[in-house]
Every structure is written in structure tokens, then in C-alpha cells.
Amino acid sequence: MELYNYIKSLHLIFVITWFAGLFYIVRLFVYQAEAFQKTEPEKTILLNQYKIMSYRLWYIIAWPSAVLASFFAFWMIFFTPIGNAWLSMTWMHVKLAFVLVLYLYHWKCHQLFKQLQNDTCNHSSNFFRLWNEVATIILFAVVFLVILKNAINWVYGVVDIVLFSILIMLGFKFYKKIREKK
């Protein structure tokens, strides 16, 4: 049991750093998209700095955290009695579905990262601001599933996540109007 608690702690630490990396990388994408709109020499200076920051964040924090969070998750699930028991529970299946969505999100962020590293920006800063909220929604879903361990009412949870997403979108539109007035 003591080993399990160490594994669980390490898993949680790397999940936190993974999300931190995902949240911050997309924030850097916002800044990079905005830097493309600047004039020279400010544009080149900013883009070069953001590329360095993004590269270090992505390869030193985000990717290693994703790999280590996954490693400790697999260890917990497949090599401990508690994890094996959880695998038979519905809430864990729903949680793993959200984790799959998180991996897909991470992969899409990687594609966006590579585009921006190659000085290609196909999206606006507003797109990236909204894109950043996807990780927030996944985080909320996973945390509530893990804490409540109840997938029977996951439909209500999904409705709550949709409502939360609508609130985020309304907040985004409000923030956009404030920014446009400045």
C-alpha cells in the first residue's frame, strides 16, 4: 500500500506538470499569433523568443510530464490491486475516455507547436484562447470523475461540462469586447 501511495503521488505530480505545460504552451501560441501581427523588428524579436520558450516548455516539461504521468498511471492500474479493481469500474472507463481525448489534444498541440516553430500561423489568437479552454474542460471532467468515482451520473457531468463550456465562451466574448475597446 505504501508503494501504491508513492506511485499515485508521482502520477499526480506529473499530471499537474503536464496540464501546466498544456495550459502555458497554448498561451504562448496566443502570444505568437499576436506577434505575427507586429511590425519589424518587434515581430522577429518576439517570434524568436516565443519559439525558444515554446521549445523548452514543450520538450522539457510537457512531453516528459505526459510520458511520466502515463507511466505511473499504467503502473498503478496494471500492477497494483487497487488499480486492477478500479479497471472494472465504469467511472474509470469514462475517465480513461477523457484521458484519450487529452492525448488527442496534446497531439494537436504538438502539430500547432510544429507549425509555429516553422513560422506558420494558420490560426488567430482568439482561436488559441478558445483552444486553451479544451484542456480546462478535460481537467474538470477528470478531477470530478476521480474524486466522486461515479460514472452513473456522467451524463449529468457532461451536461455540466457543456454548460461550463458555454460560460467560458460567454466569458471569452466579454473579454474580447473589453480588449477591442482598448
Annotated binding site for heme: 11, 95
Give the Cβ contact number of residue 139 at 10 Å. Answer: 17
Can you tell me the distance from the alpha carbon of 55 to that of 25, in angstroms, rounded to the nearest whole number?
Answer: 9
On whether the CB atoms of residues 123 and 33 are closer than 8 A, the answer is yes
Give the Cβ contact number of residue 58 at 10 Å. Answer: 21
Instruction: State the binding site.
Output: 11, 95
On whether the CB atoms of residues 138 and 26 are closer than 8 A, the answer is no
